[in-house]
Amino acid sequence: MMPRLENYPEGADASSETSESCSQIELFFEEVFKHAALVSNISNEQVKDDLERKLDYQFHNPYILYEALFHPSISSHGWFNDYEDYRDFSYLRLCSFGNSILKLTAADILRPKIKETSDILMDYGEFNGKSFLDIEHWSLRLLLAEEVLAKIGSELGLQKCVIRVAGNDSQREQDILNANLVVSLVAAVFEDAEAASNDKYEAAKNVVKQLYQKEITLLILYMQQCIDTCESTSQDPVSRLRKKASELRFLLDFEEESNSHNRTNGIADYAVKIRLHRDCFMDKVVRGTSTVSLEEAKRNAARSALIRFEELEKGNEFTKKTSIGSNSTCQDPPSNALAKLNEKLTQANLDHGPELIDEFGPPHQKQYTFAFYIEGREYGRGTAPKKKEARVLAAADAYDPVMRFLSDLQPH
């Protein structure tokens, strides 16, 4: 562990070890500033005051700040051999853990808005399989991108504050250096607050807010725009259909049909087919056409599908169960239908059981569909938010036709 300037109450007696440490680091920096003046030729005190103002944070130990600005090129000088304890002293040490602090604090700042956005997108069925973590990951990738960090470093004027020997860096090298210096500053605040027995995480989080003020504001505005767009299009028939289908656990398949031409005026007719399916309600197809655009045809098809959903609900078709291979209504299966089927089909030495055939819906409303098979033939289906429930429903749906099937196997 390299020597650090220890903080102790003004006027208190310092131990000989602490005094020696203070003296050594002060001598070290006297030598540093003698051989490697700041690029801007302004004093280290001016740099400290300027950065503390921009970061809205006051360093208790200025040497932690100086390390965050310390370029490793200085260690190549011959005089550095007298300070071997400081051989690893540079912004690179702070960068080694600064990235993690930056990621954690930035995620913490954005998390409430990310959660609100993800919840609303899910409610409107506009998530396309993405989750809260996907939005968080996307947001952090934007904030932690090298070009963003380099831009922040340039705005802070860090290229003029770095403690280094003279050098002619390319623009690419300057950008990399600026990005690394921003990360090291966040780590320096974290370390300084810890040494001063303050809340190190909150201190770093406040500095990240200050550094990313514009970028975080833009991200939050973008997420709000996504929310506003969802809410404003909630009356759009396609959006309403997606939401209704999600509520009723239906799958939707949109398919563009070939354009046809009106025989009288030659205008193209755009056609879209929507297939609605869930359990035994399979292959219910509605169509929409338009002479204006494909999107309008899609909206017309969605309007027709919404009407079909209303008819299904009014007719209570969701509660009717039709036996496979029969037009008669099923009898109520026993509550232990799965256990009874297992027992009877095992006795008959027939390969059987429920198998997962489909899963759909957003992450917070996942639905599973199981089919009950005997020797590869399907006898019933069930859909539920839990796999166990779906298996039970599939067995219940298959109970009546399986009983008839087993009855037919008995010798008469």
Exposed e or buried b per residue across 390-407, where buried means at least 16 C-beta atoms within 10 angstroms of its C-beta: bbbbbbbbbbbbbbebbe
Q: What pLDDT is recorded for position 22?
A: 56
The amino acid sitting at 232 is S
Q: What pLDDT is recorded for position 283?
A: 52
Q: Domain check: are 176 and 34 in the same one?
A: yes
**Is there a contact between 396 and 333 (Cβ–Cβ < 8 Å)?**
yes
Q: Domain check: are 216 and 246 in the same one?
A: no
Q: Which residues lie below 8 Å from residue 397, measured CB to CB, with a gap of 6+?
A: 279, 280, 321, 330, 333, 372, 379, 380, 381, 382
Beta-strand ranges (E) seen in 303-366 are 352-360
With respect to residue 136, please indicate whether it lies within any of the assigned structural domains. Answer: yes
Q: Domain check: are 148 and 244 in the same one?
A: no
Q: Which of 224, 245, 280 is the last residue of a domain?
A: 224
C-alpha 10/C-alpha 67 separation (Å) is: 24
C-alpha 292/C-alpha 241 separation (Å) is: 21
Q: What pLDDT is recorded for position 326?
A: 33
With respect to residue 184, please indicate whether it lies within any of the assigned structural domains. Answer: yes
C-alpha 282/C-alpha 114 separation (Å) is: 37
Q: What tokens were used for 46?
A: 């001016």
End-to-end Cα separation, the chain, in angstroms = 91
Q: What pLDDT is recorded for position 232?
A: 64
Q: Which residues lie below 8 Å from residue 387, measured CB to CB, with a gap of 6+?
A: 356, 368, 370
Q: What is the CA radius of gyration of the chain?
A: 34
Count the neighbouring beta carbons within 10 Å of the beta carbon of residue 74: 19
**Is there a contact between 252 and 302 (Cβ–Cβ < 8 Å)?**
no
Beta-strand ranges (E) seen in 264-407 are 268-278, 281-290, 352-360, 367-374, 377-384
Exposed e or buried b per residue across 134-171, where buried means at least 16 C-beta atoms within 10 angstroms of its C-beta: ebbeebbeebbeeebbbbbbbebebbebbbbeeeeeee
Render 14-77 in DSSP notation, one character per residue.
PPHHHHHHHHHHHHHHHHHHHHS--TT---HHHHHHHHHHHHT---SSHHHHHHHTB-GGGGGS
CA atoms within a 13 Å half-sphere pointing along the CA-CB vector of 366: 12
> Across the 412 residues of the chain, what is the mean pLDDT of every consecutive 10-residue run?
34 42 68 58 74 91 87 73 73 90 92 81 57 78 91 89 76 91 94 88 93 88 77 70 76 73 52 72 67 79 80 53 35 72 88 86 77 84 84 86 75 50
Q: Which of 270, 290, 319 is the last residue of a domain?
A: 319
Q: What tokens were used for 234?
A: 């909630």
DSSP state of 365: G
Q: Which of 172, 191, 224 is the last residue of a domain?
A: 224
Q: Domain check: are 290 and 402 in the same one?
A: no
Q: Which residues lie below 8 Å from residue 163, measured CB to CB, with a gap of 6+?
A: 32, 33, 36, 38, 44, 66, 69, 70, 71, 74
The two most distant CA atoms of the chain are separated, in Å, by 109
**Is there a contact between 110 and 136 (Cβ–Cβ < 8 Å)?**
yes
Closest to 221 in 3D by CA, of 139, 125, 290 = 139
With respect to residue 83, please indicate whether it lies within any of the assigned structural domains. Answer: yes
Q: Domain check: are 99 and 241 in the same one?
A: no
Q: What pLDDT is recorded for position 295?
A: 82
CA distances from 316 to 25, 152, 255, 313 (A): 82, 60, 28, 5
What is the domain-level CATH number for residue 121? 1.10.1520.10
Q: Domain check: are 341 and 395 in the same one?
A: yes
With respect to residue 215, please indicate whether it lies within any of the assigned structural domains. Answer: yes
With respect to residue 229, please indicate whether it lies within any of the assigned structural domains. Answer: no
The amino acid sitting at 253 is D
- Residue 377's DSSP bridge partners are 374
The amino acid sitting at 408 is D
Q: Domain check: are 241 and 130 in the same one?
A: no
With respect to residue 232, please indicate whether it lies within any of the assigned structural domains. Answer: no
C-alpha 122/C-alpha 59 separation (Å) is: 44
The helix/strand/coil state of 163 is: strand
**C-alpha 83, offset from chain centre:** 46
Q: Domain check: are 189 and 242 in the same one?
A: no
C-alpha 279/C-alpha 250 separation (Å) is: 9
With respect to residue 382, please indicate whether it lies within any of the assigned structural domains. Answer: yes
Q: Domain check: are 201 and 241 in the same one?
A: no
Q: Domain check: are 72 and 214 in the same one?
A: yes
Q: Domain check: are 133 and 24 in the same one?
A: yes
The torsion angles phi and psi of 288, rounded to 5 degrees, stand at: -140, 140
**Is there a contact between 395 and 338 (Cβ–Cβ < 8 Å)?**
yes
What is the domain-level CATH number for residue 269? 3.30.160.20
Q: Domain check: are 201 and 53 in the same one?
A: yes
With respect to residue 251, please indicate whether it lies within any of the assigned structural domains. Answer: yes
* Enclosing domain of residue 118: 16-224
DSSP state of 183: H
Beta-strand ranges (E) seen in 182-303 are 251-261, 268-278, 281-290
Number of domains in the chain: 3
